[in-house]
Structure 1
Amino acid sequence: MKLNTIAAIATAMSGSGIGIVRISGEESFQIIDRIFKGKGKKDKKLSGERSHTIHYGYICDGDEVVDEVLVLIMRGPRSYTAEDTVEIDCHGGVLVTKRILETVLKYGARPAEPGEFTKRAFLNGRMDLSQAEAVMDLINAKNEYARKSSVSQLEGSVSKRIRDMREKIIYHIAFIESALDDPEHISLDGYEDTLMGTLVPLKKEMEELIRSADNGRVLSEGIETVILGKPNAGKSSLLNVLVGEERAIVTDIAGTTRDTLREQIRLEELSLNIIDTAGIRDTEDVVEKIGVEKARTAAERADLIIYVVDGSCPLDENDEEIFRFIKDRKAIILLNKMDLDSVVTESHIKEWTGHPVISVSAKERTGIKDLEQEIKSMFYEGKLDFNDEVYITNVRHKNALLKACESLFMVEQSIKNGMPEDFYSIDLMDAYEQLGTILGESVEDDLVNEIFSKFCMGK
């Protein structure tokens, strides 16, 4: 029989001030009673203490003292998992934390599976599936925007919107079914107009959430950014400034960068996944030609292109080619080497392109703040408000919304084609169930297990 009480280390396995071992399940208090001895009260039983209290003493394996600890007890359902939960705060060394976990397992718990604490919170109704996924997003947040978005979703911003949409749909399903069962008392005459009055704004709301997924991906994963430019324009110097260390080789020799170099950086609240590329120019060098082709491929897939122009050299046909290439893409032009005598001005570049132009000096580290503000304005219109706005950051949620929206479209088509009302309820129910998968309703066990398997062990 599989033991129902689980335990795991909830803190990073490294030297630190505190380590936490978490226990959850029906035997949590019995286990802690077997291994905890209070300071000055050797016979103290934590199972008899009030919930949400902290106790000072020792974890013991028989007569051996393992460590001096603080123990927090929480009775279900007022805990993270909605089960009886115990957290042992011990000294943060790797060895002592592992030793305490071994003691807990020895006296009746089993090792938790990855994400099993949060999985239990979901299964016990403590949170829905979208909130559970937000926990992992919060842990993996790479920037301040991602953190705020995850907290907003954890508080139920996505859940509330989805539940509101489902309530509207289920109302019409119930009405149609009732009318079909009792046509003498409930009439469907003219009901198509009433239903369309709900479908149109509901479909629009779904489409807005689907569109938010582009911003949501950028929030959670970072802005895929490619630095383009001719050889020796200062691309690698710019990368080094943004990263804050010498990651790219910088020389006065044109064509030093032959391959792509990838780095992730933070600019205030933003995350950029930056790719430095080979200088774009016509070349007969086989290796350099491969690098140029890889630069173009990376740029085609990028969310943002930063084109670095050497302000000390005149514009030429290579610049003109790149300007054409980035014409319909999100791009920022950096007029670099402003510390030297310039032969190119911002007005010159604006004659060639409608993209924003920022004067910088990678050598002098000037103009970088202006670049940060321009990126923020370009992607987030200057700010993000997580109080009212909902951003879809999960691909699974986006796909469910797409399917639900498609089902509502089918209802619209059935109305326009004069189909019987039971056709409406079939597609409405499909939309209702697709939205339910976001919350964790009507999802297969395999999907639930797959989602939680990506969590860390102690969460």
Structure 2
Amino acid sequence: MVYIDDTIAAIATAPGEAGIGIVRISGEKAINIIDEIFQSKQGKKLSQYPVRRMTYGYIFNPDKKEKIDEVLVHYTKAPYTYTKEDIVEINCHGGFIPVKKILELVLKKGARAADPGEFTKRAFLNGRIDLAQAEAVMDLISAKTDKGFDVALDQLEGFLSKKVSATRKKLLDMLAHIEVSIDFSEEDIDEVTLEYLLHKSEEVEKEIENLLKTAEAGKILREGLNTVIVGKPNVGKSSLLNALLREARAIVTEVPGTTRDVIEEHLNIRGIPIKIIDTAGIRETEDIVEKIGVEKSKEFFNKADLVIFMLDISTPLTREDLQILELTKDKKTLILINKTDLPQKADLDKVKEIAVNKKMIKISLVEEKGLEAVEDALEDLVYTGEVKAKDRLLVTNVRHKNSLERALASIQDGVSAIKKKMPLDFVEVDVKNTWEALGEITGDTVAEDIIDHIFKNFCIGK
């Protein structure tokens, strides 16, 4: 446990009117501060009551001899708290004024205003959780779907940390064997063989590769799938958005160019958070407003993780269709052939010729046909290969992914060095680099400035 000599305080509830507001205090002065400003209904201080119970009373300003609010106060002693420090939580009436007045009084009596994420940072520094678990706290708060929440909760419970720690233990064992082999190479002892090192290194390499395979799906569950619907005017883009939302969000008419600006919505499709953007139809136009919308469409197209390209099967392919189709060659794309309730006039063989290996689905939004197939395709795009929707261990954090990539590169260098029968000193460097890169995930080997940067992204009060 790290000794931290100051006491921090912050409002732990969201701003605005509510039934309850909470002011949280953590540190060795927490009980002294609350004893100065709290009095129970029986006229006692909080320290006169047993810990781990809610005590009813009042917060008052001792300097002005005036009551501030009617409250319930809870006190828990270290180390059995979130931060592993003494914690006091003041439950007052919700609203901007009560919590503001109480926090100002707490700060006046000796606490310091907490930095963003400082309560969770103290939990990390005091050894209650590791860095990956600390980051999972923020993922829980910002989860957009049940699946994203479940993955974050699993990480908070240590699923990823345990896996990384087990792999690091293998690397540590390898380093110990290498050290023995180097230091006592002339002694009659059980030496580390190249076969043993190669087996262990390839085992670690496979474990890291398996974690990295989950990173794309994990990133989507954490941040959402940035999806854009494109196509020429009047192919059904807005109708698709309305169908997926199950509400009439976008205006739909038979007049081409009705959508002149982008419309952004958030969906939850089978646990996958999707930020979907209905764009203005991409075409040549002299209309100034529509032209601005078309330029915005192209901008969102370039930034998208997934492109849903829509075609009208009832009309022949146009130059605009083919131009958009060409643009999708290097993008992850789902092609929807709409209006299948009408006679076919579009040359779909031409589409297949250009859109090689792109998923194509025939739909009719008028007859509400094909939507389930669209949702199936979206799920398949997220959960690919060995990654399944039911998987509980997913890498959701870009920082973790970067550390894993560095670890993979190092262990691959180690495997290469072993196969080339290079001196064990070279292998030792690669194994140690792998061990350190994995340690960045749990915070065992991470630099202090990175830790500070991570917690700056937290909300104050958490």
Same fold (TM over 0.5): yes
User: Which 10-residue stretch deviates more, 218-227 or 413-422?
Assistant: 413-422
**CA positional deviation for 1:125:** 0.2
- State the match for 1:115 in structure 2: 117
CA separation in 2, counterparts of 1:156 and 1:345? 56
2:364 match: 360
Number of the residue aligned with 1:454 = 457
Q: Offset of 1:77 from its aligned partner?
A: 0.9
* Structure 2 unaligned residues grouped into runs of 5+: 353-357
Q: Pick one of 14, 17, 22 that aligns with 2:16.
A: 14
CA distance in 2: counterparts of 1:93 and 1:3, whole angstroms: 31
- For 1:413 and 1:333, the matched residues in 2 are separated by 43
Local SS of the residue matching 1:275: strand
Q: 2:355 maps to what in 1?
A: none
1:277 shift after superposition = 2.5
Distance 1:333 1:50, change over 3 A: same
Aligned-pair identity in percent equals: 45
**SS at structure 1 position matched to 2:214:** helix
Q: Which moved more, 1:78-87 or 1:51-60?
A: 51-60
Q: Secondary structure at the match of 1:86?
A: strand
- For 1:192-271, list aligned pairs within 5 A: 192-243=194-245, 248-271=250-273
* Structural RMSD (CA): 2.9
Using the alignment, how far apart are the partners of 2:345 and 2:380 within structure 1? 23
Change (3 A) 1:186 1:445: farther
Checking the alignment, whether the CA contact within 8 Å between 2:220 and 2:272 is kept in structure 1 is: no
Matched, 1:391 2:380: no
Q: How many residues align?
A: 449
Corresponding residue for residue 42 of structure 1: 43
**Residue 361 of structure 2 contacts residue 374 of structure 2 at CA under 8 Å; is this kept in 1?**
no
SS of the equivalent of 2:227 reads strand
Q: CA deviation at 1:200?
A: 0.8
Distance 1:220 1:90 in 2: 33
In the aligned structure 2, how far is the partner of 1:186 from the partner of 1:77? Answer: 49
Given residue 360 of structure 1, which amino acid in structure 2 is its aligned partner?
S
Aligned to 2:130: 128
Give the one of 90, 93, 99 matched to 2:92.
90
Query: In 2, are the aligned partners of 1:7 and 1:101 still within 8 Å (CA)?
Result: yes
Work out which of the residue numbers 59, 78, 81 in structure 2 matches 1:79: 81
Q: Which moved more, 1:429-438 or 1:181-190?
A: 181-190
* 1:35-184 → structure 2 map (5 Å cutoff): 35-39=37-41, 41-43=42-44, 45-62=45-62, 63-184=65-186
Residues 200 and 181 (structure 1), Cα distance of their counterparts in 2 relative to 1, 3 Å cut: same
Return the alpha-carbon distance in structure 2 between the equivalents of residues 377 and 442 of structure 1: 36
The CA distance in 1 between the partners of 2:191 and 2:5, in whole Å, is 59
* Displacement after TM superposition at 1:18 (Å): 0.9
Structure 1 residue 328: Cα displacement? 7.0
1:249-398 paired onto structure 2 within 5 Å: 249-281=251-283, 283=284, 285=286, 295=297, 298-299=300-301, 301-316=303-318, 318-319=320-321, 322=324, 326=328, 330-337=332-339, 342-344=342-344, 349=348, 352-353=351-352, 355-361=359-365, 368-380=371-383, 384-387=389-392, 390-398=393-401
Give the conservation status (yes or no) of the 8 Å contact 2:316–2:345.
no
Unaligned runs of 5+ in 1: none
Alpha-carbon contact 1:148-1:386 (below 8 Å) kept: no
Post-superposition offset of 1:393? 1.2
Distance in 2, matches of 1:186 and 1:155, equals 45
- 2:177 and 2:388 mapped to 1: Cα distance? 42
Contact 2:407 2:433 in 1 (8 A): yes
Once residues 100 and 437 of structure 2 are traced to their aligned partners in structure 1, the CA distance between those partners, rounded to angstroms, is 43
Q: Judging changes above 3 Å, is the alpha-carbon distance between structure 1 residues 364 and 34 closer, same or farther for their aligned structure 2 residues?
A: farther
| TM-fit CA distance, 1:33 | 1.5
1:278 is paired with a residue of what secondary structure?
A: coil
What is the SS of the residue equivalent to 1:455? coil
TM-score, normalising length: structure 2: 0.88
Instruction: Spell out, residue by residue over 1:162-200, the C-alpha distance to the aligned partner (whole angstroms, 9 max, x if none).
Output: 101100001111111122222344657561110010111
Report deviation, 1:349.
4.8
Measured in 1, the distance between the counterparts of 2:383 and 2:182 equals 48
- Of the three residues 424, 429, 438, the one matched with 1:426 is 429
Cα separation, 2, equivalents of 1:118 and 1:384: 29
CA contact (8 A) 2:239 2:252 kept: yes
- Separation in structure 2 between the aligned mates of residue 280 and residue 435 of structure 1, nearest angstrom: 46
Residues of 2 paired with 1:19 and 1:232: CA distance?
50
Distance 2:40 2:138 in 1: 35
Closer/same/farther in 2, CA of residues 83 and 3 from structure 1, 3 Å limit:
closer
> Following the alignment from structure 1 to structure 2, what is the Cα–Cα distance between the partners of residues 37 and 360?
68
- When residues 345 and 438 of structure 1 are mapped into structure 2, their CA distance, relative to the original with a 3 A threshold, is farther
Say if 1:185 and 1:54 are closer, same or farther in 2 by CA, change over 3 A. farther
Cα deviation 1:299-339 (Å, max 9, x = unaligned) = 4543322222335434556545555654675433434446x
Distance across 2 between alignment mates of 1:405 and 1:36: 55
Contact 2:177 2:192 in 1 (8 A): no
SS at match of 1:449: helix
Residues 51-60 or 154-163, more deviating: 51-60
Letter in 1 for 2:461: G
1:342-378 alpha-carbon deviations (Å, 9 max, x no partner): 11399x85894462414232x6766545533432233
